[in-house]
Amino acid sequence: MAAPVRDLRQALLKGSLGPLNPFPWTMQTGNCLGWVIYGYYTRDPYVVAGNLPGLILSIWLNMGAAKLQYLDIHESQKAHQHQRPSQEHWDASSRTESQEGLDEVPGLFQSEEELVVAPQERALLRILAGWAVVATYVGWFSKDDAAAVVGVVVNANLIFFYGAPLQTLQQVITERNSESIHLRTMFMNWTNTSFWIAYGLSRRDPVIILPNVIGLSLGLIQGVLCLVYPRQTHDLVADLEPLTSVASIVASGEVAPSSPIV
């Protein structure tokens, strides 16, 4: 769950999401919230403890993505406004062709609405509203086993979470670039699903086993895409920058190669 934290922090410092795909973070919020509810009804403290920190962290990720989306939309609005011809006395009956053209810019009115609610906020609110309905239904109106109902819904949410990066499948194939697939998230999903499969087998709980098997399969598909379509910019480039700097210093002769590097 914490895999995108460093990249989002760098994006916040730069003021742009860049190639980051924030859509899975809304699914992550719904996934963690659903498992916390499921753990409550099944009286499983491990499920609750394993997902509650992820729920809190996912909310921060969504907040960061919404801030960057708002900033991008706000800057776009300012650019559109600067393109409008300045007039001391505006007359509605004497609109110029350039003004009319600006009013017809696709997405302009939509972006004004997004200044109030960014796309990430809208998606997050939908997920939270959906789970509010599910929690209210199983708590007050359902005559069925509450854990079973929540388990079905959280399974659907979990599959969407694990498969969320595949929404860019067409883009990956078209551009022959898997940059939109976040590597650290993919690696951690492999580890996460493997451990939850083992835990589900020990509990003999198909609600835990099935979605994580599907999630692991989707993660492996993402791995295949990364191999078939190499990334133009690698997620781990930032990790290699210090080594590159040291190598350049050694090559320039400022530091002897045998000198210890602290």
**Cα(126)–Cα(147) distance, rounded to whole angstroms?**
22
pLDDT band at 158 (very low <50, low <70, confident <90, very high): confident
Q: Which residues in 87-124 are b (16+ Cβ under 10 Å) and which e?
A: eeeeeeeeeeeeeeeeeeeeeeeebeebeeebbbbebb
Does residue 230 sit in helix, strand or coil? coil
Give the helix ranges, DSSP H, for 84-205: 97-103, 108-114, 119-136, 146-163, 169-175, 183-203
Burial label, 212 (beta-carbon count in 10 A; 0-12, 13-18, 19+): buried
Higher pLDDT, 108 or 173: 173
Mean pLDDT of 154-173: 72
Q: Which residues in 181-207 are b (16+ Cβ under 10 Å) and which e?
A: bbbebbebbbebbeebbebbeeeebeb
pLDDT band at 18 (very low <50, low <70, confident <90, very high): confident
Report the 3 state secondary structure along 31-64: HHHHHHHHHHHHCCHHHHHHHHHHHHHHHHHHHH
- pLDDT > 90? residue 140: no
Secondary element (H or E) of residue 221: helix 206-228
User: Is residue 242 within 8 Å of residue 185, measured between CB atoms?
Assistant: no
What pLDDT, on the 0 to 100 scale, is given for residue 129? 94
Torsion of CA 57, 43, 202, 30, to 10 degrees: -30
What pLDDT, on the 0 to 100 scale, is given for residue 121? 92
For residue 188 the two structure tokens come to 């951690």
Sketch the domain layout of the chain as residue ranges: 5-252
- pLDDT > 50? residue 12: yes
Span of 51-55, 156-160, 161-165 with lowest mean pLDDT: 161-165
